[in-house]
Amino acid sequence: MIRFEDVSVVYDGASAPVLSHVDLHVPEGELVLVVGRTGTGKSTLLKCVNGLVPHFTGGTLSGRVTVAGRDTRLHPPRELADVVGIVPQDPLSGFVTDMVEDELAYGMESIGLAPDVMRRRVEETLDLLGLADLRHRPLLSLSGGQRQRVAIGAVLTTHPQVLVLDEPTSALDPGAAEDVLAALQRLVHDLGVTVLLAEHRLERVVQYADRVVVVHGGGVALEVGLPHDIMVTAPVAPPVVELGRLAGWDPLPLTVRDARRAAGPLRERLAPHADDAVRRSRATLHVLDGEVALTVDDLVVRHGAVPALRGVTLAADRGEIVAVMGRNGAGKSTLLSTLVGLHVPASGAVSVGGELPSRLRGRELIRKVGLVPQEPTDLLVADNVGAECTASDRDCAAVAGTTRAVLDRLAPGVDDSTHPRDLSEGQRLALALSVVLAAEPPVLLLDEPTRGLDYAAKRRLVATLRDLAADGHCVVLATHDVELAAEVATRVVVLADGEVVADGPATDVVVGSPMFAPQVSKVLSPQPWLTVSEVAAALVVAS
């Protein structure tokens, strides 16, 4: 269905090709997962499929890409619209209309289908993706998962044979991600659509893939194989696979269900140590016992008439890492923005370092509390890293070189002259984090920090956050990433509909929760293990 023959892509002005001599064949009806570190050319590979590269992006493509027999050299993207549907990383950026129903119809209007066909297909697609209740809703009022499903539906209505998705679940909470993946699964099984999917969060998608393509970048050939085979050696792997490797299970499980069926003996070996694990995680909680960094008391925040937070009470000490979880729209971001004073409480009290954050201005604020927003680039102002660091030193009246020093600690080896856009996601996050940390705020807030990060970058982030907490920072992170929460959080707070529904040590809150339990916990429950490293440590003790 999709065939790459000796394809190389060089962008104008770039010194090295993004893709070189790529050969790939995707047969009809397969769901193919594309993995690889940031910046290895995954997005370019995907954009080649419908001819956006090079017709739209510029650059030079050599070799041949054919989709359903059509050569992308001869067919610009608009001529391929009835064969390939491409869903961009941020669905909102690709919406052409403003209402759900119109958006679904747009592609069909462009290729000129008859009105009765359009009407029928819109209804079918609404049902297929569970969007019927949203048909008259404006696109901007939808949640992340709904937007993603609308974006998929919008390209599906032209009945493309190939669907290309760039990180469809990276911004979604676990529940919404499952909805999207279930919808994709149905397309592949029932309609025989060929799906090409890039995703960092392997733990969510690897089980659905028929084949995995690893993009190594830097001119190294693609690695293509069955998920089981690829996962045995892959440098990046979801926790369930790592657990399987640790326990030496064969075949390697890709799903929690497979792993659970194999996990009986492991659970028995671990049983005597389970209580120790709980005690240890509790212990980390109690040694802190530092000074109070922030308190929130019966906080109510409204967006217009709509209450976003309804009576939230919370306190956090220095040295703690608090993960705030909950579905999209539960009030996580609102809570963080209120803590930096972007929203004024409608009632209740917020205090960060003894002050009401919405009263603080300028340097007073950034010395008390820092926030890394969901999109780290929002925080960056300069057009190269050096200038950014200088500007940041000036902003917080720090000694020249402070920001640079922080950056070198978080992500060594970033060149001063690089444009922030050309950094990898992990480096960009590190830069934004350095800008915030240069003012040395005791309270550090991160909104969805692992969005778009690969496993290596995530591991570095985990180490960074632990160091910061050890230095006496109070870290609060709003996240959908259960694995991250299991890894770093000393405490987990679950918000639902603007209220706190759970608050306690990570072990207590996430174990047994179908939505927020990490994979290791799901495999080994009812024992309270959260991460592979905990299990590995216990196994060392056991042997």
Q: Distances from the Cα of 93 to the Cαs of 129, 153, 248, in angstroms?
A: 20, 15, 44
How many helices (H) does the chain have, and how many strands (E)?
A: 22, 19
Count of residues of this chain found to bind other proteins when the rule CB under 8 A is applied: 89
Among 38, 72, 281, 328, binds other proteins (CB under 8 A): 328
Residues 151-180 that bind other proteins (CB under 8 A): 154-155, 158, 172-173, 175-176, 179
Q: Closest distance between other proteins and the C-beta of residue 464, in Å?
A: 19
Binding of other proteins by 417 (CB under 8 A): no
Residue 76 found at the interface with other proteins (CB under 8 A): yes
Q: How far is the CB of 373 from other proteins (least distance, A)?
A: 7
Is 436 an interacting residue with respect to other proteins (CB under 8 A)? yes
Cβ-contact 8, 19 below 8 angstroms: yes
Amino acid letter for position 251: P
For position 370 contacting other proteins by CB under 8 A, the verdict is yes
Which of 395, 408, 440, 499 is the binder for other proteins (CB under 8 A)? Answer: 395
Q: How far is the CB of 7 from other proteins (least distance, A)?
A: 19
Q: Which of residues 292-321 bind other proteins (CB under 8 A)?
A: 303-308
Rounded distance between C-alpha atoms, residue 242 and residue 520, angstroms: 9
Contact residues for 118 (Cβ-Cβ < 8 A; gap 6+): 105, 108, 109, 157
The sign of the torsion formed by the CA atoms of 534, 37, 206, 95 equals positive
Q: Are 476 and 336 in contact (CB under 8 A)?
A: yes
- Look up residue 337 and give its amino acid: S
Regarding 64 and contact with other proteins (CB under 8 A), the answer is no
Instruction: Identify the residue among 14, 132, 283, 381 touching other proteins (CB under 8 A).
Output: 381
Structure tokens at 125: 């697609």
How near is the Cβ of 458 to other proteins at its closest, in Å?
23
Q: Give every CB contact of residue 96 below 8 A, 6+ residues apart in sequence.
A: 103, 106
| CB of 214 vs other proteins, minimal distance in Å | 26
Least distance in angstroms from the C-beta of 282 to other proteins: 32
Q: Shortest gap between Cβ of 79 and other proteins (angstroms)?
A: 7
Q: Binding residue for other proteins (CB under 8 A) from 193, 321, 439, 469?
A: 439
Distance of CA 91 to the CA centre of its chain: 14
Residue 494: name the closest of 475, 480, 484, 483 by CA: 480
Q: Distance (Å, rounded) from C-alpha 326 to C-alpha 493?
A: 8
CB of 176 to other proteins, least distance (A): 4
For other proteins, the closer of residues 95 and 455 by Cβ is 95
373 binds other proteins, rule: CB under 8 A:
yes
Decide the pairing of beta strands 474-478 and 321-325: parallel
Residue placing its CB nearer to other proteins in the complex, 140 or 226? 140
Q: Which of residues 88-147 bind other proteins (CB under 8 A)?
A: 88, 90, 93-99, 101-102, 105-115, 118-119, 122, 136-138, 140-146
58 belongs to the binding site for other proteins (CB under 8 A):
no
Q: Least distance in Å: CB of 105 to other proteins?
A: 3
The tokens 């998929």 sit on which residue?
A: 152
Residue 217 or 307 having the CB closest to other proteins: 307
Q: Which stretch binds other proteins (CB under 8 A): 31-39, 312-320, 358-366, 470-478?
A: 358-366
The reply on whether position 52 binds other proteins by CB under 8 A is yes
Tokens of 55: 């017709």
Q: Which is nearer to other proteins, 212 or 312 (CB)?
A: 312
Looking at beta carbons only, is 131 or 243 nearer to other proteins?
131
How far, in Å, CA of 316 to CA of 55, rounded? 52
| Residues written for the chain | 543
19-26: strand order across its sheet: 19-26, 2-10, 60-67, 70-71
The least CB distance from residue 396 to other proteins, in Å, is: 6
Q: Is 366 in the site for other proteins (CB under 8 A)?
A: yes
* 437 forms part of the interface with other proteins (CB under 8 A): no
How far is residue 423 from each of residues 36, 51, 87, 537, measured CA to CA in Å?
16, 25, 23, 35
Pair 73, 90: CB distance under 8 Å: no
Q: What residues have CB less than 8 Å from 299, skipping those under 6 apart?
A: 309, 311, 312, 313, 335, 338, 345, 347, 348, 349, 350
The identity of residue 188, as a single letter, is: V
Selected from 30, 82, 320, 483, the binder of other proteins by CB under 8 A is 82
Binding mask 452-491 for other proteins (x = CB under 8 A): ----------------------------------------
Nearest to 387 by CA among 400, 376, 375: 400
